[in-house]
Amino acid sequence: MTDEEYNSLKSSIKEQGLLLQIIINSDGIILDGHHRHKACQELNINPKYKVKKFDSKTDEIIFVGECNLQRRQLTPLQRISIVRQLEPFYKEKAKEKQVKGGKDKVMQKSAEAITVRDVLAKKANVSHDTYTKGISILDSDDKTLINETLSDEKKINSSYNKITNARIQNDSKTPAIPEGQYNIWYVDPPWQFDNQNTGGSLISGASQKYPTIPTDEIITLMQKMPFHKDSVLFMWATNAMLRDAMEIISELGFTYKGKVTWRKTNFLGLGYWYRNVTEDCLFAIKGNVKAFHSQLPNFLEAPNTKHSEKPDEMRNIIEDGIKGINPIEKIDVFARKKTDGWVSWGNEL
C-alpha cells in the first residue's frame, strides 16, 4: 500500500471499526490482513482473527498468494509477478490431482502442461498471450522498463515490443533485412508452440531442432520486411498455429484467399486431439493482385523428409499460380536452403 492508501484504511478502521477479520493459520501467523493488523495496533484496537486450516503447506501458500491477487490496486504485471511465484505450487497441486485421477504418466504430463498454463493466465486475470509477454518483461535485463511496467507507467504490450525489437537488433544470428522490394513471399515461420511436451517422447520437436520464435516476434520481424505494395504471401502453418497465422496475415495488411494442403504420405504425426498428417500453406494478397485462375488443385501428397522441410511440389504450385504476374521478385523467408530463382533469407542458411 502507498502511504495515502494506508492512511485511508486506518481512518476507516478508526471510524467504523475493523470490518474484515484478519486471517491467521494454526500457528498464529498472519496470512491476510497485515495492514489492517498494523492499523489496529497503532489505534489500540483489538483485532478480530479467523483461524484458517489447510490440508497442506502448498494450499496455504496458494491462499496467501491469491489473497494478494484480489488487491484492487495491482497492475497487470504485478498480478503476473505474483502468479509466477505461485507457479511451482500450482504445478504441485496439478500433480496431486492427476495422481488421484489415476492417469498414465504420459497423459499426466500432457494434462499438467495444459492445465497449469491456463490456470496461470486465469489467476492473473489476463489472456495467455499477455501472461507470456509479462514473463518476458520480468525476465529482461531492463530494470527500468520492468519497474515502469509494474507501476503501469508503461503498458505490457508497449514494453514487450521494446524488448522484442531490442532482441532482434542485438541478435547477431539474425541477418540484415534484405534490400529491394519483393512481391512473391514464401514464408515458413519457426513457430513456437505453447506446449513443451508432445507425444510419447515428451519433447517438443521444433524447439529441439532450431530456434523458435513467439508469434508477436514473427510479426515484428516481418513488419520490417520490404513488401511491394502489390504482393502475394504463401505461408506455412501447422494445424495448431492456424489462428496465429491468420493474425500475422492481418497484421501485415494482407487478405486471406485460400490454402494448399499437404498430406504427408509417410508420416503419422503427434497431437493432443488427432494425429496430424497434414499441413497447410495459406496464401493471401495485398494491393492489386488478380486471381491466379490456376488449373492445379489446392492439394498435394508428398513424403515428409527432414524436420520442418517442405516439399518441392509446393514451389511448383506457387510458380504455376504466379506465372501471370510481371515483374516477379521472389523471396524465401526463414529459408533453410538456397533455391535457384529465389532470394533466400534466414539464420539457418
96-110 pLDDT tens trace? 776 666 554 544 444
pLDDT (mean) for 281-293: 97
Residue 71 grid coordinates: 488487491
Helix (H) or strand (E) holding 327: none
SS3 87: helix
Euclidean distance between CA atoms 48 and 45, whole angstroms: 9
pLDDT (mean) for 265-286: 89
Q: Is the pLDDT reported for residue 157 higher than 80?
A: yes
Q: Cis bond leading into 178, ω under 30°?
A: no
- pLDDT band with cut points at 50, 70 and 90 for residue 171: low
pLDDT by residue (tens digit) across 181-210?
Answer: 999 999 999 998 754 333 333 334 444 344
Whole-Å CA distances, 320 to 112, 254, 293: 46, 21, 10
pLDDT by residue (tens digit) across 204-259?
Answer: 444 434 467 889 889 999 999 999 999 999 999 999 899 999 999 999 999 999 99
Contact (Cβ atoms closer than 8 angstroms) between residue 6 and residue 35:
yes
SS (H, E, C) 102-151: CCCHHHHHHHHHHHHHHHHHHHCCCCHHHHHHHHHHHCCCCHHHHHHHHC
Q: Classify strands 22-24 and 49-51 as parallel, antiparallel or unpaired.
A: parallel
Euclidean distance between CA atoms 193 and 149, whole angstroms: 26
Contact (Cβ atoms closer than 8 angstroms) between residue 134 and residue 152:
no
Q: Rounded to the nearest 5 degrees, what angle is found at the Cα of 315, between the Cα atoms of 319 and 189?
A: 125
Buried (b) or exposed (e) across 123-148, using 16+ Cβ within 10 A?
Answer: bbebeebbbbbbbbbeebeeeebbeb
Domains and CATH numbers, the chain: 3-161 (no CATH), 171-345 (3.40.50)
> Which own/partner pairs from 27-35 qualify as long-range (CB within 8 Å, at least 24 positions apart)?
31/60, 31/63, 31/64, 31/67, 32/63, 32/64, 32/67, 35/1, 35/6, 35/9
Model-level pTM?
0.56
pLDDT (mean) for 46-66: 91
Cβ atoms within 10 A of the Cβ of 247, count? 16
Contact (Cβ atoms closer than 8 angstroms) between residue 236 and residue 281:
yes
Contact (Cβ atoms closer than 8 angstroms) between residue 298 and residue 259:
yes
SS3 306: coil
Residue 328 grid coordinates: 516477379
- pLDDT band with cut points at 50, 70 and 90 for residue 304: confident
pLDDT at residue 196, rounded to an integer: 39
- pLDDT band with cut points at 50, 70 and 90 for residue 317: very high
Euclidean distance between CA atoms 329 and 254, whole angstroms: 17
Q: Is the pLDDT reported for residue 281 higher than 60?
A: yes
Euclidean distance between CA atoms 243 and 241, whole angstroms: 6
Choice among 80-94, 307-321, 333-347 with the minimum mean pLDDT: 80-94
> Which residue bears the cell 507425444?
199
How crowded is the C-beta side of 263, counted as CA atoms within 13 Å? 5
Which amino acid, one-letter code, is at 284? A
Q: Is the pLDDT reported for residue 161 higher than 70?
A: yes
Euclidean distance between CA atoms 198 and 107, whole angstroms: 10
Give the rounded distance of the alpha carbon of 269 from its chain centre: 23
pLDDT at residue 172, rounded to an integer: 62
pLDDT (mean) for 268-291: 91
Q: Is the pLDDT reported for residue 55 higher than 80?
A: yes
Whole-Å CA distances, 84 to 94, 265, 292: 15, 43, 50
Q: Is the pLDDT reported for residue 71 higher than 90?
A: no
DSSP state of 307: T
- Mean pLDDT, all residues of the chain: 86
pLDDT at residue 106, rounded to an integer: 46
Q: Sheet of 227-237: strands edge to edge?
A: 299-302, 255-264, 278-286, 227-237, 182-187, 330-333, 343-345
